[in-house]
Amino acid sequence: MQLEQLLKQNPPQSMVFESHRIRLRALKKEDVNALYEMRHSLDHFNYVNQTTDAMPDETRDEKAYEEKAYEETKNFIDKILNGYEIYKWYFWGIELKATKALIGTLCLWNFNYDENKAEIGYELDKAYQNNGYVREGVKRVLNFAFKVLMLSTVEGIIHAQNRASVKVVEFYHFALTGILSDKKQIIYSLNRLSFLSNYPERAHEMGIKIGSLERGALNKITDVAGIRVGHATLQSGAVQTGVTIIIPSEEDMFAHKMIAASHVINGFGKTTGLIQIDELGTLETPIALTNTLAVGRVQDALVDYMIASSEAKIKSINPVVGECNDSYLNDITHKSVQAYQVLEAIKEANVDFSEGAVGAGRGMSCHQLKGGIGSSSRCFNIGEEQYTLGVLVLSNHGLLADLIVDHSEIGSRIDALKSVQANEQAVDKGSCMIIVAMDLPVSDRQLKRICKRAVNGLARLGSYIGHGSGEVVIGFSTANKMNLADKSKIKQYAFIDESQIDIAFRAVVEATEEAVLNSMLAAETVEGVNGHRRESLQSYIHLLAR
């Protein structure tokens, strides 16, 4: 879809964004006093072109100057408001949520339709500088620019001596790409791929409160020590799919099996490996996620990887492969996923990993918007020991009208603004894979009890678990490992007392809800097979502004 159409679909007056401390909202005439005080300081004159006759000095008529400067500010606001009407720019006031004070402005303007790019600009009252407010706002605007407007490039033109502004763009990895002829202004550029790879927007960062427990350092499943996650993504026209691998340990998993359990919420699915997990209570391979018709190839590749990498002589093994059907966006019958992409995902596995429309999540839908890979974690104490529980989801479920975020029925509000594509039935189908990891010492029976509570995280976002949507939970604990070399006839392991399990129940519900929401917020809009399109939740997140 062309940039011009996207601008009209996202009118400047209604684009309101929030972070923990600030709100970005359209300027209004009542902002004239605050804007006048901010824009006519000596420091501001150093870096911003003004139309008033001169900088402050001792010779001018101070009263006349102030009157002219105030009138200029009123004219400036009128110009901005008129620009809103013709979709010329986005110009936000930076407002403190706590006091509603206007402390700065942030804009996205100078749209270039041919090159699919725009320019970003910002200013902040001196009294509020060096507190990270501009960084918070810039991140929200960049998310909007790249995920909703689908811009290829965002540029910033900055005065060479304005180190504070330079630090902001450098923080977000803008590259220096040019110097204007007067040698006083520098051009910085950021491309879409670079930003989406490094700075996905997530629920907690946007000020959306989910639960009461503390999050881990990364707020991902990899906060459980030893876990890594990798992706292989296929994205080209009608092919929108991939593979995601969860590696629970650096050790040989066949030789050092982990306590595991599964829970099938709704069994409309083709996950492999669950029978043995439920019977023996152990996990002996990485967990792979992919699309429905790629399960066979991914399983074969996982078996080959384990045979090649394990020190044990493997004659039988239980590879675990979960799936969701991504055929709304992906030409699933093309069977694009190949064995080498499984190995690629394993090779790329890391503690910090991308979310959204990546790996197995590339072609997935969630509440009829864009879904995919999402993760979250929770930390809690039992006695004097701290434990971590992490969740990773492959979200591909739910109806738009049912979506609830931060206690707001945002789905029905979005549904009122748009209509789903005519060839799509309002039926909840597609599935959700939920991977639960923890370092809490539990038995496989206790772990299964924890897994059963994950469904509450889906329900809190509005899902009712439809007939055609296969929801499957797979859990494992890194606390107790069953070593193949240990030939003792009696094994001894430590497990929590049953009376202490409630905190883990709470943790899995909170982490599941946030992981699903992160999968939607981190995903950009994707167009795939037959012109089908799933919009990012970022396109409508302004409807949550309170």
| Catalytic residue list | 431, 469, 471
- Checking DSSP bridges between strand 22-26 and strand 90-96, what pairing results, if any? antiparallel
Three state DSSP letters for 340-400: HHHHHHHHCCECCCCCECCHHHCCCEECCEECEEEEEEEEEEECCEEEEEEEEEEECCCCH
Q: Which of 261, 532, 246, 285 is nearest to 390 (CA)?
A: 246
- Measured CA to CA, the distance from residue 102 to residue 198 in angstroms comes to 29
The H or E element containing residue 98 is none
- Measured CA to CA, the distance from residue 411 to residue 37 in angstroms comes to 40
- Measured CA to CA, the distance from residue 451 to residue 524 in angstroms comes to 29
Q: 191 in helix, strand or coil?
A: strand
Length of the chain, please? 546
Q: Which of 178, 139, 165, 238 is nearest to 538 (CA)?
A: 139
- Measured CA to CA, the distance from residue 456 to residue 505 in angstroms comes to 10
**How big is the chain by its Cα radius of gyration, in Å?**
26
Q: Which of 215, 191, 193, 190 is nearest to 205 (CA)?
A: 215
> Considering all CA atoms of the chain, what is the largest pairwise distance in Å, rounded to the nearest integer?
96
Query: Within 10 A of 40 (CB to CB), how many other CB atoms are there?
Result: 21
Q: What 8-state DSSP symbol labels residue 111?
A: E
- What count of Cα atoms within 13 Å lies in the side-chain half-sphere of residue 276? 15
Query: Tokens in use for 431?
Result: 């599935």
Task: Compute the Cα dihedral for 235, 241, 243, 246 and give only its sign.
Answer: positive
Task: Provide the edge-to-edge strand list for the sheet that holds 282-283.
Answer: 282-283, 256-266, 471-483, 432-438, 385-395, 372-382
- Measured CA to CA, the distance from residue 54 to residue 57 in angstroms comes to 8
Q: What 8-state DSSP symbol labels residue 183?
A: S
- Measured CA to CA, the distance from residue 237 to residue 232 in angstroms comes to 16
Which residue pairs, CB below 8 angstroms and at least 24 apart, start in 188-193? Answer: 188/155, 188/156, 188/157, 188/158, 189/153, 189/154, 189/155, 189/156, 190/142, 190/153, 190/154, 190/155, 190/156, 191/152, 191/153, 192/146, 192/150, 192/151, 192/152, 192/153
